[in-house]
Amino acid sequence: MPDSIDVTEAAPQPAPDPQSPPPVVSDETMAVPTVELDHASDLPDDRFLDRELSWLAFNQRVLQLAEDPATPLLERARFLAIFASNLDEFFMVRVAGLKRRIAAGFAVPSATGMSPTRLVEQLTDRAHQLMDEHAEVFEEIVRPELAREGIHLVRYDELGDAEQNRLRKLYRSDIFPVLTPLAVDPAHPFPYISGLSLNLAVQIKDPDTGKDYFARVKVPETLPRFLSVDVEGRASQVTDASSLDDEPRSFVPLEDVIAAHLDYLFPGMEIANHYTFRVTRNEDVEVEEDDAENLLKAMERELLRRRFGPAVRLEVADNLPPGIRELLVRELGITEADVFHLPAPLDLTGLNVIADLDRPKLQFPAFRPTTHHKLAPVETAEEQNTFAAISRSDVLLHHPYDSFSTSVQAFLAQAAMDPKVLAIKQTLYRTSGDSPIVDALIEAARNGKQVLALVEIKARFDEQRNISWARKLEEAGVHVVYGLVGLKTHCKLSLVVRQEDDGLHRYCHIGTGNYHPKTARLYEDYGLLTKDPDVGADLTKLFNQLSGYAPKAKFRRLIVAPTGVRAGLIERIEAEAERARNGEEAWVKIKVNSIVDEQTIDALYRASRAGVKVDLVVRGICALRPGVEGLSENIRVRSILGRFLEHSRIYAFAGGGEPEVFIGSADLMHRNLDRRIEALVKITEEQQVANLVENIDLAMADETAAWELGDDGAWRALRVDADGAALTDLQATYIERQPKRRQRGK
C-alpha cells in the first residue's frame, strides 16, 4: 500500500459544453452541484452518507490493519505511517477547502443536508478521536511488539551514557550545522512555520537578567526522522534501513537528539523547557488558466503561494503548557478546536523507515510480478515482441500481479526503438522521478518519431515533478500539451502508430492506473493492450480533442468524460432495471475507489427497487447507503484493503445474457465525471470479461475477508467465519493464482 491515498475531490462544478470551450474554473471555486437529480422526488432525503465522514471511515479501516495481529508487524508500522500521511492530506485539501469556502461565503449544505459549519465540527471531533486511537495503537500495541522483536523505539533519555555520547558526536558533526534557531521577541517577529514541519518550541532564560525568552527550532526535513543506535552502540543516520540485519536495534527520534543538545544552539542561556509541535496548512492549488500566458509559470507561482497557505491544524505534545499553546493558536490564526494534543513522538509518517527494515519474517511474503503469458517469448532464447503479441489478441493486464516493466513499459520502450513506429501519443498524470516512460518518449523523439505527451501539471502534489518532466520533454523535441482549459486530463492512454507491410496499424494501451513504474508494484490496476481498429480510431479522436480542436468526436469502444461517462453508465443501469422488471436476469457489478455522484447513486437505488442485484466494491468513500428496506435492499457494498492499494475501476452489467464490462480511469465522483478527461474502454474478449466479473465476485464472496457497509453508514470488519477460521485474503489469492494462470495460458 502506498504512503498516501488520493482523498481529494473538489466541490462539484458544472459539466462543460462539448460544443464550446469549457468554462475557466479552478477545482475549488465552484461549490454548488449543477446536475439535477432526476426522479429524486420519490427517494428519501436521508439516502446519502456524507462523503467527508465516509473518508474518515476509510482511514479508520487503514488503522484497523495496523491493529490487526494478522498483519505482519513491520507492515503494521507502515499502516500507521499511511494513516498519518492520509490524514495530513485530508486536512491540507478537504478540511482546508471546506474552511476556505465557509470563509468566502460559497459553502452550501452537502447532499446529506448537513450545514458546512456543522460538518467541520463533526470532522474535527472525529479526527480527534481517530488521532488519539492512532497514537494509542502505536504506543500500546505496535511499539511494545516491535521491542519484543528487538526493534526499540526509544527516547533519548532512555539510552545509556555510551549511546548518548555517540549520538552527541553525531549531533555535532551532522545535525548541528543544519539547524537554525529563531528567536521571538520585539526585534524578531514570530517566524513562518512551514506546513507539516516538525518543530521545537523552546523556553529560554537569560541567567544574567532573569528574563524569559521563546524560540523555535525546526527539525530539518533533510535529515532522517529516526537515528539508529546498533547493538554495539554506534550511532548513525538511517537513510536506507534495509541494510540492517536481525540484531537488536534502537531508534531515537531526531527531535529528541536536537532537544538534548539545545545548549549548543543557545550558549550562555538556560534551557528551561522544550516541546514539540507540528502545523498543517492549506496546500491545495488553484490556477486560473485564462489569466496565464504560460501555464507552467502560473503553476510554479501557485506552488510558491501554497507554501504560505493558512494553518488548519496544530499538533502539539500533550505536555505543552497553556501559555505556549495560546501563543501558537494566536500567531497561527486557528481555533482551540484545531489543536490536537498527542503523546510524543509526533508525526508518525516517519515509521516508514522502520517498516523498511530488512526483516522478512515481519513483513509480507516476498512477491515478484510475472510476465503476462501472452507477452512471454514463445521460445526461451526469443526476445519479447510486444507488437507481435498484441497482434495475436488483446492482452488484459492485472497489475501488480502482471509485471508492468515487461508489459506497458516494454511496449513503450520497444515503440521508441522500432524503426517501423512513426508516432507515439501518451498521457502522463503521475510518473516516477526516474521514469522509464519519460525516457522512452525522449528516445523516440530523438529517433525522429512524432511524439506527443499530454502532461497534466495539475496532478495534486505532483505538480513540481510534472513541471520538470514537461520541460525535459520539450527540450528533447517532444510535443508537450496540457489538455483542455478547466479540465484535468486523468485518462491513462498510449497510442503507437506503426507502419507494417499491409499499412498503418495503431497499437493502444488503456489503463486504470498511472504510468508510474514504482506505484505499479503497489497499486492494483488493470490495463488493456490492443490493436483493435475501433480502439485505435477512438484514441486518435480523443488525442485530437486534447491537442487540437475536435469537439464533435464520437467513439466506438470508449466512453469519455466529461460528456459521456455518467450518461453512459446510468443508461446501462436503467437498462438493467428494465430487464429486472421484465423478469430477466439483471445485475450491476462495480469496483471503484469512491462513489459520491448523486445521479449515479439514485440510478442504483431505482435499479435496486426494480429488483436488480447490485454489488459494489468501494475502497474509499461511499455516499450510497446500502441495505435500506424499500430503497437499497438489493445493494451490497464491500471494501478491500491490504498490502496493495485497490485502484482499478470496473463497470459490469448483465447485458441481457451478454455481459458488458468496461475498465478505465473514472471513479464515480463529481470531479471525474464533470471536470476531468476520463476514458472507459469496453472489454470484448469473453474470457477477459469473465475474469473481470470474477474479480468483483471474489471480493463479494462470503469466504473473502473484507469490510461491509451497513445501512447506518458503519463499516463492519469481516475477518473470520462462523467457526472462527480466518477468511481468505483476496490479494494473497491472486498472488497464488498468478503462476498457475500463466501455465494454463488464461
User: What pLDDT is recorded for position 547?
Assistant: 80
Give the lowest-confidence range in 182-186, 201-205, 323-327.
182-186
Structural contact between residues 523 and 401, judged by C-beta atoms closer than 8 angstroms: no
List the beta bridge partners of residue 252. Answer: 227
> How sure is the predictor about 300, in pLDDT bands with cuts at 50, 70 and 90?
very low
Separation of alpha carbons 439 and 437, rounded Å: 5
Q: Assign 3-state DSSP to the chain and report helix, strand, coil percentages, each to 5.
A: 40, 25, 40
Mean pLDDT of the region 144-164: 93
How many C-beta neighbours within 10 Å does residue 636 have? 16
Structural contact between residues 325 and 340, judged by C-beta atoms closer than 8 angstroms: no
CATH 1.20.58.310 domain locations along the chain:
53-143
- Angle between helix 598-610 and 565-581 (nearest 10): 10
Classify domain 560-744 at the CATH topology level.
Endonuclease; Chain A (3.30.870)
> How sure is the predictor about 631, in pLDDT bands with cuts at 50, 70 and 90?
very high
> How sure is the predictor about 376, in pLDDT bands with cuts at 50, 70 and 90?
confident
Give the lowest-confidence range in 18-32, 409-423, 559-573, 696-710.
18-32
Question: How many residues belong to the chain?
Answer: 746
Whether 58 shows a pLDDT value over 80: the answer reads yes
Measured CA distances, 557 to 392, 652, 660 (Å): 19, 14, 11
Phi, psi of 561 (to 5 degrees): -95, 155
Whether 67 shows a pLDDT value over 80: the answer reads yes
List the beta bridge partners of residue 182. Answer: 216
According to DSSP, the β-strands at 645-646 and 523-530 are parallel
Which is nearest to 397 in space by CA: 672, 731, 648?
A: 648
3-state secondary structure of 265: helix
Measured CA distances, 554 to 534, 542, 558, 678 (Å): 11, 9, 9, 15
Which residue of the set 261, 490, 516, 647 is catalytic? 490
Separation of alpha carbons 640 and 700, rounded Å: 9
Largest CA distance in the chain: 92
pLDDT tens readout for residues 715-733: 999 999 999 999 999 999 9
Classify domain 151-288+310-358 at the CATH topology level.
polyphosphate kinase like (3.30.1840)
pLDDT tens readout for residues 603-628: 999 999 999 999 999 999 999 999 99
Mean pLDDT of the region 94-118: 88
Q: What is the mean pLDDT of the chain?
A: 86
Mean pLDDT of the region 379-408: 88
User: What pLDDT is recorded for position 554?
Assistant: 87
How many C-beta neighbours within 10 Å does residue 235 have? 23
List the beta bridge partners of residue 663. Answer: 650, 681
Separation of alpha carbons 306 and 326, rounded Å: 25
Q: Which triple of cell numbers denotes residue 308?
A: 504560505
Q: Which residue has the cell 473518508?
A: 55
Q: Within 13 Å, how many C-alpha atoms sit on residue 541's CB side?
A: 17
CATH 3.30.1840.10 domain locations along the chain:
151-288+310-358
Whether 380 shows a pLDDT value over 60: the answer reads no
Whether 523 shows a pLDDT value over 90: the answer reads yes
State the DSSP code for 724: S
Q: Which triple of cell numbers denotes residue 294?
A: 504560460
Active site includes 490? yes
Mean pLDDT of the region 376-401: 84
CATH 3.30.870.10 domain locations along the chain:
386-552, 560-744
Thinking of the domain 386-552, which architecture would CATH place it in? 2-Layer Sandwich (3.30)
> How sure is the predictor about 688, in pLDDT bands with cuts at 50, 70 and 90?
very high
Among 88-102, 467-481, 691-705, which range has the highest average pLDDT? 691-705
Mean pLDDT of the region 119-132: 96
Phi, psi of 723 (to 5 degrees): -90, 5
pLDDT tens readout for residues 225-266: 899 886 444 455 544 444 445 677 889 999 999 999 999 999
Cis-peptide, bond into residue 369, ω within 30° of zero: no
**Residue that wins the pLDDT comparison between 438 and 584:** 584
According to DSSP, the β-strands at 503-511 and 523-530 are antiparallel
Percent of residues, the chain, with pLDDT higher than 90: 67
* Sequence-separated contacts (24+) of 660-665 with Cβ below 8 Å: 660/572, 661/688, 661/689, 661/692, 661/693, 662/559, 663/510, 663/511, 663/512, 663/526, 663/527, 663/528, 663/692, 664/491, 664/492, 664/510, 664/512, 664/559, 665/490, 665/491, 665/492, 665/511, 665/512
Q: Which residues contact 301 (CB under 8 A, 6 or more apart)?
A: none
Q: Within 13 Å, how many C-alpha atoms sit on residue 666's CB side?
A: 29
User: What pLDDT is recorded for position 520?
Assistant: 92
Whole-angstrom Cα Rg for the chain: 27
Phi, psi of 703 (to 5 degrees): -85, -5
Separation of alpha carbons 303 and 464, rounded Å: 8
Q: Which triple of cell numbers denotes residue 122?
A: 463533526
Classify domain 53-143 at the CATH topology level.
Methane Monooxygenase Hydroxylase; Chain G, domain 1 (1.20.58)
> How sure is the predictor about 122, in pLDDT bands with cuts at 50, 70 and 90?
very high
State the DSSP code for 656: G
How many C-beta neighbours within 10 Å does residue 155 have? 13
